[in-house]
């Protein structure tokens, strides 16, 4: 078997893309999207017609409403190619607004309802700020499944578990990026590869903590920079992987060994953490990497959301 097929023996493979025409060849279980991926897709000739179709059908609605409809339209198409779930992101500008995030989640879900999609197949993606996690808590109480993204630290993972969110997405590659940049010329790539990769180690720690304490939240490794990071997390609940890395895995027959095992991880000895808001904010503040990458990620998603809305406005102006 190739590496992709071997990996599927240990983890649920998720495609990290809005390019749904690529999905069939990799047969992933689920798919994830974000504002950056949707923006990239609608700027291509292949997917521009989908954007134009959605705008034309709802041209009298607000630009923000149409933007959500575009995200849902991509999710609906993606679900034709995957048997499981799709993650659709709430507007990153609401990352510090509990009520706004809950309302936006409801609007996204209404879009899927109108398209006849079972809500069990939808994960609402929300940034793992304190406010985002509390919004996810409220949504979980309503039975809404969320995927908490831009997660870089154990305090974020602990707060998500306490909120009983469905999925968390710790960002392996962005953690790796920060440590590599910080080390500068002192970075040793070989010494920090595979199981020694700081991004991989962060996910392993979270995975072990969850399994030891019987936490049901699913751990989905995300934001990979190379195949080595993926293979080092074989056995993680889910792994969301870009098409380029899925293709690399499919083209290789190198062996893949299970790196994470829930039964083994359950034997880990880690004290259970309890974090109220002040403790969460202090713990996150004390982690420079997590603080910087969370803020950076939100800023980029906001930029891409605004750019998407500008594209919608241009199409609206031309269609009136």
| Ordered mean pLDDT values, 10 residues apiece, the chain (320 residues) | 98 96 94 92 94 95 96 97 97 98 98 97 98 98 98 98 98 98 97 98 98 98 98 98 98 98 94 96 98 98 96 87
Instruction: For residue 193, give both structure tokens.
Output: 């590869």
Give the separation between CA 87 and CA 33, rounded to whole angstroms: 6
Give the separation between CA 217 and CA 147, rounded to whole angstroms: 10
Tell the residue number behind the tokens 């992709």, with chain if given. 4
For helices 130-141 and 277-285, what crossing angle results, to 10°? 140
Q: Determine, yes or no, domain membership for 232.
A: yes
Give the separation between CA 267 and CA 139, rounded to whole angstroms: 31
Range of the domain at 15: 3-315
Q: Determine, yes or no, domain membership for 197.
A: yes
Give the separation between CA 222 and CA 230, rounded to whole angstroms: 9
Q: Determine, yes or no, domain membership for 320.
A: no
For helices 98-114 and 63-78, what crossing angle results, to 10°? 50
User: What's 51's domain CATH number?
Assistant: 3.20.20.70
Give the single-character DSSP code of 222: B
Q: Determine, yes or no, domain membership for 48.
A: yes
Quote the number of domains for the chain: 1
**Catalytic residue check, 125:** yes
Q: Determine, yes or no, domain membership for 246.
A: yes
Instruction: Assign 3-class secondary structure to 49-81.
Output: HHHHHHHHHCCCCCHHHHHHHHHHHHHHHHCCC
Pick from 2, 35, 6, 40: which is nearest to 22 by CA? 40
Instruction: For residue 6, give both structure tokens.
Output: 């071997």
The 3-state DSSP class for residue 252 equals coil
pLDDT score for 35 = 84
pLDDT score for 23 = 93
pLDDT score for 171 = 98
Residue 108 region, left (φ>0) first, then alpha (ψ -120 to 50), else beta? Answer: alpha
Its pTM surpasses 0.85 = yes
Let me know how long the chain is.
Answer: 320
Q: 8, 125, 145, 293: which is the annotated catalytic residue? A: 125
Q: Determine, yes or no, domain membership for 21.
A: yes
Q: Determine, yes or no, domain membership for 12.
A: yes
Give the separation between CA 233 and CA 126, rounded to whole angstroms: 23
> Parallel, antiparallel, or unpaired: how do β-strands 167-170 and 86-89 relate?
unpaired
Q: Determine, yes or no, domain membership for 96.
A: yes
């Amino acid at each position: 078997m190739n590496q992709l097929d071997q990996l599927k023996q240990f983890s649920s493979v998720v495609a990290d893309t809005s390019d749904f025409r690529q999905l069939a060849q990799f047969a992933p279980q689920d798919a994830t999207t974000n504002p950056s991926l949707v923006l990239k897709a609608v700027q291509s000739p292949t997917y521009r017609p989908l954007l134009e179709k959605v705008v034309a059908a709802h041209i009298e609605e607000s630009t923000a409403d149409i933007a959500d409809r575009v995200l849902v339209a991509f999710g609906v198409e993606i679900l034709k190619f995957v048997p499981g779930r799709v993650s659709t992101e709430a507007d990153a500008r609401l990352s510090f607004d509990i009520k706004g995030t809950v309302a936006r989640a409801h609007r996204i879900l209404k879009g899927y309802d109108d398209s006849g999609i079972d809500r069990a197949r939808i994960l609402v993606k929300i940034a793992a700020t304190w406010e985002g996690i509390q919004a996810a808590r409220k949504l979980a109480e309503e039975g809404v499944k969320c995927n908490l993204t831009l997660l870089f630290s154990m305090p974020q993972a602990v707060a998500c578990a306490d909120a009983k969110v469905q999925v968390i997405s710790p960002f392996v590659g962005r953690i790796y990026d920060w440590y590599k940049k910080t080390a500068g010329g002192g970075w040793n790539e070989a010494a920090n590869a595979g199981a020694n990769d700081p991004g991989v180690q962060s996910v392993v720690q979270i995975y072990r903590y969850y399994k030891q304490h019987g936490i049901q939240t699913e751990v989905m490794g995300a934001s990979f920079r190379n195949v080595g990071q993926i293979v080092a997390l074989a056995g993680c609940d889910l792994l969301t992987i870009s098409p380029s890395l899925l293709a690399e895995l499919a083209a290789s027959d190198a062996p893949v060994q299970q790196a994470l095992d829930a039964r083994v991880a359950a034997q880990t000895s880690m004290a259970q953490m309890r974090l109220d808001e002040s403790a969460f904010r202090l713990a996150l503040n004390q982690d420079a990497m997590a603080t910087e990458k969370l803020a950076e990620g939100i800023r980029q998603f906001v930029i891409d959301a605004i750019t998407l809305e500008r594209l919608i406005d241009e199409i609206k102006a031309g269609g009136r």
